[in-house]
Amino acid sequence: MRKLIRCYFVILGIGPLYSNAQENPKFDDNFNLWNIQTGQQATVFVAKAYVRKQPNLKAAITDSLSTGNVVTITSPPFKGNIIKNFYAPWYEISYCEGGIKKTGFIWLGLLALGKQTASDGSQYIYGFERFTKSSNEQEQDHFSTAVKILDAKGDFLAEHAFPFAYLEQTFSQSKLLPAMGLQNVKQIIRIAFLGEACGIPSEYYYVAWTGQHLVDLPGRYAVSDAGVFYYDEKILFPSEHGKKNQVIYKYIEEGEVIDDNAKNPNFKVTKRTEAFQWNGLDFEKLPTFK
């Protein structure tokens, strides 16, 4: 299970970056992680998504859609609701069912954040299940996030959940990668939550598909504050580094400004490397390596 204490770390003595306390997250009606525009298609993420007659929870339910169903966004956002412990807007949609075009309204949080389609037609979709408040001080409040894979016919194959501690990242991206030299892996999906402002981290999750299971791989994290510090991780897979077989390397670099020259700040830079052994089903961190 992924640890949720990243944003408590101290970078070269600078101190905690973020507080664990967080109210129910509210995604802006016009700009959010989904970045859906009028006329675009979107994919239903949850097992059952209700379509309503009007954009609110009191409106009558006119239909329900399932994971993988595709809808077209036909309106700008409408004022939203808090569902699954987070706020998101409503959209008017159109879709086809049995050859008949239908319309209605859907809450944004029921739709996938993104989708990737493999060459064999299988689909990787990811999104939020709900926002979860932490039960102890060792973990952050987080989104229970999941990757789901469907076959070419749209039938469910597997699902894998991981926690994502939302810290005002502004957009999300995903990309399908090949096996990258890892045995028993068919494909890897990389999911990124990216921050554009100083102090807002970018986090990359890698999930491998073995043909039977979706499995966590080591992730990557980066954050910086111009003129103060930076922290950056880089992941290299066996097909990229050409070193030890079935070993994933993580290269970590940290920098802290040690003078007051605003135009050309000098950084005190430290570097280290971590290594993880992949056994075809899971990975473990190596204590020492050459």
**76-124 per-position pLDDT tens digit:** 999 999 999 999 999 999 999 989 999 999 999 999 999 999 999 999 9
* Cα of 41 vs its chain's centroid, Å: 19
- How far apart are alpha carbons 33 and 171 in whole angstroms? 4
Q: Return the exposure string of 97-121: e unless at least 16 CB atoms fall within 10 Å of the residue's CB, then b.
A: eeeeeebbbbbbbbbbbbbbebeee
107: nearest Cα among 44, 24, 33:
44
Looking at residue 260, its pLDDT comes to 64
Mean pLDDT, the chain, rounded, equals: 89
- Residue 243 clears pLDDT 70, i.e. is over it: yes
Q: Taking the CA atoms of 106, 110, 115 and 120 in sequence, report the sign of the dihedral they define.
A: negative
Query: Do residues 143 and 203 make contact, with C-beta atoms less than 8 angstroms apart?
Result: no
